[in-house]
Amino acid sequence: MIELQRTIAKAVSLSGIGLHTGTSCTMTFTPAPENSGIKFIRTDLGGRPEIPANADFVVDISRGTTLGLGSAKVFTVEHVLAAIVGLQIDNINIELDGIEPPIGDGSANPYVEKLIEAGFVTQQAPKDYLVIDQTVMYHNEEEQVDIVALPMNSYRISVMVDYQNPVLGSQHTGLFDLEKEFVTEFAPARTFSFLSEVEMLADKGLIKGGNIDNAVVIVDHAIDEEGLKRLKDKLGLQKDLTMSHEGFLNNNKLRFKNEPVRHKLLDLMGDLALIGAPIKAQILAARPGHKANVEFAKKVRSLYQQKKLVKKFQFVKKEGVVLDANAIQRILPHRYPFLLVDKIVELDLNKKVVGVKSVTVNEPFFQGHFPGQPIMPGVLIVEAMAQVSGILILNSFIDPENHLVMFMSINHAKFRKPVVPGDQLYLEAEVISKKSKYFSIKGSAYVNNDLVAEAEFMGAITDKENKSEN
């Protein structure tokens, strides 16, 4: 796999209509600097809003993957992203003068051809690979979807689907060499749909740009000439529709015997681009779809952000420690005698954190609380839980060192057992809710697995410079 980042050599454009909206759009790929990533830019909107291609900006997955930031949206990004990932491009801007990229022939081929025409430029910065070193699993029992990432020092994807349709049946495919197989074996795989889905979408006006040239339609129920004529009128087609004996509309034969599952792999590649970094892993997927793909991408992206966090603040790797005292001081502004967490031993970014505070007889507060019977003040246990919470919340921001956590309320605080010298406090914080810069946290403190204190916090993130002005 390529080890240095790359972008394209020149700007290239293509025009057409979007599959779902039916609106015209010119899309232009332009070079981008190192470490800037993949961005969609709506040039038709005031301020040219930029939408980063990562899972945090997914706003809809009903018929494809839609990204949005504020009122700006871009529909059906998965085929474009698959082309970019398949060609191992790290930094690129995708300018659009409409809401949906041109669908082309329903595959990634049109985008691949344009990007190859643009040529590639190797940049100086190394690729920021996410190396999967532990199994990551996603399971949806209701939809019988499973996606797994396994450790591997390369990039492989295997996909299995079972459509329970005599035309297709069960299918599987695998991409094992990105450089040799993507352009010829997977980029040409077109989007497909069953006839019953096409009829439903046409009735709802959700495939205004759909036609028989940009999708393979698989006949999954009986339809007569009158039914074909009605469908033609709904889709606004010029040519009459016919049905082949193989079970496809208009004799639109498959480019590959297993073209549908190859397209599912293509969709998965595009959606996994939303992790925000190239990955080294083996991906195994059974019956994937956009909803599951994006949920899995979010899960892996959280792992990626966590690894970046640890790499940024924890300079020396220590067994059983995620962040040591030195790393904590690079994140939190607290110092002696008010830094009340010694290390972080568990971190699930944006969800949960576990910190440790070793309580010694040398703590300055024991001099007055209480002489002859040292007990850690309950308010300081709450403060310790709050500091651990701050580490969890601050690191949802790109630059935690430039922000502060300001707590707005403490609710349902309870103190169940005293904490005394020699105790080791395990401080857990779990996100209850988070919206923009505001959050709610459930904090718990344990000694020897016994709950000694608990509380709920509400707070907000503020800029450090704003703190000095207030």
Active-site annotation holds for 334: no
Asked if residue 439 has a cis previous peptide bond (ω within 30° of 0), the answer is no
DSSP helix/strand/coil, 445? strand
Listed in sequence order, the residues at least 6 apart from 74 whose beta carbon sits closer than 8 Å to its beta carbon are: 40, 42, 51, 66, 67, 68, 96, 99, 100, 101
Amino acid at 291: K
Contact 165, 315 (CB under 8 A): no
- Rg, C-alpha atoms of the chain: 27
Bridge partner list, 156: 282
Q: Which of 20, 79, 263, 290 is catalytic?
A: 290
Contact 181, 175 (CB under 8 A): yes
What percentage of the chain's residues is helix, strand, coil (to nearest 5)? 25, 35, 40
Contact 191, 263 (CB under 8 A): yes
Environment class of residue 46 by beta-carbon count within 10 Å: exposed (0-12), middle (13-18) or buried (19+)?
exposed
Contact 285, 297 (CB under 8 A): no
Count of CA atoms in the C-beta half-sphere (13 A) of 393: 33
CA distance 206 to 434: 33
Q: Which of 79, 369, 403, 412 is catalytic?
A: 369
CA distance 433 to 444: 16
Contact 347, 306 (CB under 8 A): yes
Environment class of residue 161 by beta-carbon count within 10 Å: exposed (0-12), middle (13-18) or buried (19+)?
buried
CA distance 311 to 307: 6
CA distance 462 to 437: 8
Active-site annotation holds for 245: no
How large is the angle between the packed helices 195-203 and 225-235, nearest 10 degrees? Answer: 50
CA distance 330 to 393: 15
Angle of CA points 275, 177, 284, to nearest 5°? 55
The set of catalytic residues is 290, 369
